[in-house]
Structures are given as C-alpha cells and as structure tokens.
Amino acid sequence: MHYEGNIIRPPSEANSILLQVTVGCSHNKCAFCGTYTGERFRIKPDEVIQQDIDFAATHCRRQRRVFLCDGDALILPQKRLVFILESIADRLPWVTRIGAYANTKSISMKSPEELSELRRQGLGILYMGLESGDDITLKNIRKGADSKKMIAMGTRVREAGIKLSVTVLLGVGGRKRSQVHARETGRVLSAIDPEFVGALSLMLIPGTKMHTDHVQGRFALPEPMEMLQELRTMIEHTHLSHGLFHANHASNYLPIRARLPRDREETLRLIDLALEGEIRLKPEFMRAL
C-alpha cells in the first residue's frame, strides 16, 4: 500500500482496509488539530489508488470493511469517487461497508442525489467532526461552519441513507463556555439524530493555535472534573431516537458507552458517582490521542 504523511482513522475502523485516496485535509484550519500541519492537500493519482486496491485484493481478504483516508475523502469529485467505489466492489467483493471522513464543505458539494448514489455504490458510513454545537466555540476553533450548517449537512447525510458518526470534543469551549458548549452540542446532536456519537477529550498539541493560546493565557483548559460535568450535561441534553453515544476514546477520563435514550439515566448515575469520587478517573499518563 502507498501511504503518505499521517494516516488517521476512527477507532471503529481499526480492522478495516485503509485505502488512502487523498493526502491531508481539505480544510486544515482547525485550531486544535495538528495532524496535517504543513501538509498540502491533494488527491492521489488514480493509478496509485488502483494499485492499492489490487494489493488489497491479494493481501487483505479477511477484512470486511474499507476506510478511505485521509481527512476528507468525500471531497473527491463525484465521478472519481464513484469509480473508486466501483473498483472496490469489483476487486474486493467480500467488503460489506466503506467509510470516510467528511466535513460540511465536502457534504455541501454533494447533492442529495449524489449522496444517494454513493450509498448505492457501497458508501455505508461517514464520520463528521462537529466538535461543538456552540457557534462562538465553532468560530474560535476555526471549524469553518456554524451550528445551522452542521445540522443541515448532517441531516443531508442521514436523509441519503448513509450512516453518520459525529465526533464532539469535550473541553474545546474552554472553562468559560464549558456548560454552554455542552448544552448547545446536545441541541445540535438532537437535531441531527446520528446513529453514532463519539466524544473525545481535548488534548492540547504543541504547534496548534489552541496550544499557543493556552500557553499565552488566552485559553483555559477545563479540569478533568469539569470535562466530566460537560459530558454529563451533554448527555442530558442529547435526545437521539436510537443512537449509540461513545465516550470510550483513549483521551477520555471515564469510559462511557450508552444507547440513547435507553441508557440515559444509568449513564448519568455513573457520571455522578465519578463526580462524587466513588469511581476513579483515568490518570493522565494513560490518556492518548
């Protein structure tokens, strides 16, 4: 396989064939992210992508899923993306699902009809980074979209029949907007109603704008208990019809896995026990990206 730069994928794609179709991220401006710093976004040549699909056809026959890397594979022009999906179906007929990252820009460039076509061609899930439903926080972290657009684009994916996994970021609003960030994120998640929500806890990366702001006193990172209170408020204000809310990423202080609305009260009681000191939080040395 031909890999360039940093290759990242969602935790749920750990056993997937990682097919890199782009290098970097088409947005690459988020204040908290240093994954693609200095990396010029580009689409990989078709011949290289086809060589990797051929390699997977021989060496990856046990994997049942494909994940299209890097940060925003959905940005590919429709014809090129359909061609890749068709090639996967032809050369890797045992694959049952294809996934990719997406952002509001790339989703907005696909019509509802085009998204439906991608679903028919095998695109089964998209991962969208919401981070926050608070418009002020979204502006501060340079996400490139407000909550209204997040809701509209998330809804577009859902209406096309593609499963949606939304990522949110505990602590990203700072200490001053911690609870506003939590409530507004719950509001936006409820409006989108995705199948999956993944909550991560902010870890400041040297070289990023948020790290610099923290060092220079312009951003105050919430303490672990404040992040836990954020998580509680967020879950309390998130109303999903039948969604899975994960907060079991390596960055989190308290692993949570809840089916909402079924597990809401039990999960809130678990968080309350942790806030009261009855359950120990993960120590800092065990946290990771």
Mean pLDDT in consecutive groups of 10 residues from the start of the chain, 289 residues: 91 95 93 90 96 98 96 94 98 98 96 98 97 98 98 98 98 97 98 97 95 97 96 97 90 91 96 94 78
Residue 32 within a domain: yes
Three-state secondary structure call for residue 183: helix
Q: Which structure tokens are listed for 249? A: 């990423």
Model pLDDT, residue 229? 97
**149 lies in some domain:** yes
Q: What are phi and psi of 65, to 5 degrees?
A: -135, 155
Domain CATH number, residue 23: 3.20.20.70
User: Domain span at residue 250?
Assistant: 11-283
- In a domain, residue 111? The reply is yes
* Distance in angstroms (rounded) separating the CA atoms of residues 194 and 155: 8
Cβ burial, residue 57 (10 Å; 0-12/13-18/19+): middle
Q: Within a domain: residue 4?
A: no
Rounded Cα gap, residues 225 and 100, in angstroms: 33
**Would you say residue 122 lies in a domain?**
yes
DSSP-derived pairing of the beta strands 243-246 and 257-260: antiparallel
Residue 288 falls inside a structural domain: no
Model confidence, pTM? 0.95
Do residues 179 and 233 make contact, with C-beta atoms less than 8 angstroms apart? yes
With respect to residue 250, please indicate whether it lies within any of the assigned structural domains: yes
What DSSP state is assigned to residue 41?
P
Domain count within the chain? 1
For the chain, the farthest-separated pair of C-alpha atoms sits apart, in whole angstroms, at 57
- Which residues have C-beta within 8 Å of that of residue 27, sequence separation ≥ 6? 71, 72, 103, 105, 144
Pick the closest to residue 135 from 181, 166, 103, 170 (CA basis). Answer: 181
Q: What is the pLDDT of residue 283?
A: 84
- For residue 102, CA distances in Å to 124, 236, 250 come to 13, 27, 22
Assigned domain for 3 exists: no
Place of tokens 């809310």: 245
- Given this model, what pLDDT does residue 251 score? 84
Q: How far apart are CA 206 and CA 218, in angstroms?
A: 15
Contact 110, 78 (CB under 8 A): yes
Other beta carbons within 10 Å of 197: 26
Give me the pLDDT at residue 252, please: 86
Q: What is the pLDDT of residue 10?
A: 92
